[in-house]
Structure formats: C-alpha cells, structure tokens
Amino acid sequence: MTRLLAALILILLAPMTQAEMAPRDGWSVTATDKGYDALIDAVKAAAKANKMGVVTQAGPTGAAANRGITIPGNRVIGLFNNVYAVNILNLSTAAMIEAPIRMYVTENQDGTATLSYKLPSTVFAPYMAEAGPELETLAAELDAIFATISAEAAK
C-alpha cells in the first residue's frame, strides 16, 4: 500500500516538477524575460520579418486544459520558406522530411518562457553526404536566419 501511495504521489507531482529546457548539443536554447504568449507572438513576428513562414503550430497545453489538466505552456512552431524548400528538395528528397524547422516555446515556472530549436545544420546533417556541399551552404544560411529570428524574438 505504501508503494502504491508513493507511486500515485509521484504521478500527480510529475507535471509540477517539469524541468526547464537545458542547453544541449546541436541546439540553441535561449531563456527570455518574456511571458509564454508574448514569446510566441515575438517568434511569429520575427519569422515574418526574416521572410520565414509559419507553416505549423502544435502543443499540448490547450488540449490538456480541455481535459482538466494544467501543464506549463508548450508550443512548437514550424518555420520555413519555399525558396529553401525547393532548393533542398532539388538536392535531397529525403532531407525534406525535416522541413519545417521547429522552434519550441516553453513556459518556465517563474512565468518567463524559453525559446529552443535544433540548429538547421544539425537537422540536415544526416543528408550532407547525399546532397553535397550545397546543402551545407543552405543549412548554414538557415542557421544564420534562425539565430536572427531567435535574437529578435528574445529581445
């Protein structure tokens, strides 16, 4: 009975002890002073200003709330540009599975939000041998664009 009670308590507390995003290899992780909704809006505005379209958005926060479950804000925003899509597709059909590149907005316990994403050069790395140096060039350009979007959104 004691083990069952302990397990139940851990299950119930798990959402409240969600870890904040930590730096990891091949990622950009930027803590901001912005709130969750403000950072989402800032990412969209910065993407538009840098000629990247918002292609997808998804997150469990709203659906969880509809089920009566409260979790920290969590949104994945997929960004891309058709010029890059066509150019990458011409180099590697398989590489297009990686588009759009996703930016990840997560709400922190203190009410601020963090912006994270895998570097495009990391995302496209498995296709470099197949696609050649042109894909490396495009991925480096996307690295710079996503860094600019991140910096603009975070300020």
- Give domain limits for the chain: 21-154
Buried b / exposed e over 72-84, threshold 16 CB at 10 Å, is bbbbbbbbbbeeb
| Amino acid letter, 64 | A
Q: 16-19 long-range CB contacts below 8 Å, 24 or more apart?
A: 18/71, 18/72
Residue 39 pLDDT > 80: yes
DSSP state of 18: P
Indicate the range of 1-5, 73-77, 97-101 predicted with least confidence. 1-5
Residue 149 pLDDT > 80: yes
The rounded distance, in Å, linking the Cα atoms of 124 and 128 is 7
Band of residue 3 on the pLDDT scale cut at 50, 70, 90: low
Residue 1 pLDDT > 90: no
Quick one: CA torsion of 62, 70, 38, 53, rounded to 10 degrees?
-30
The rounded distance, in Å, linking the Cα atoms of 104 and 141 is 20
Residue 112 pLDDT > 80: yes
Residue 83 pLDDT > 70: yes
CATH of domain 21-154: 3.30.310.70
The rounded distance, in Å, linking the Cα atoms of 57 and 77 is 5
Mean per-residue pLDDT of the chain: 91
> What is the percentage of the chain residues whose pLDDT exceeds 70?
88
Residue 101 pLDDT > 50: yes
- Please give the pLDDT value at position 10: 40
The rounded distance, in Å, linking the Cα atoms of 8 and 72 is 21
What pTM value is reported for the model? 0.86
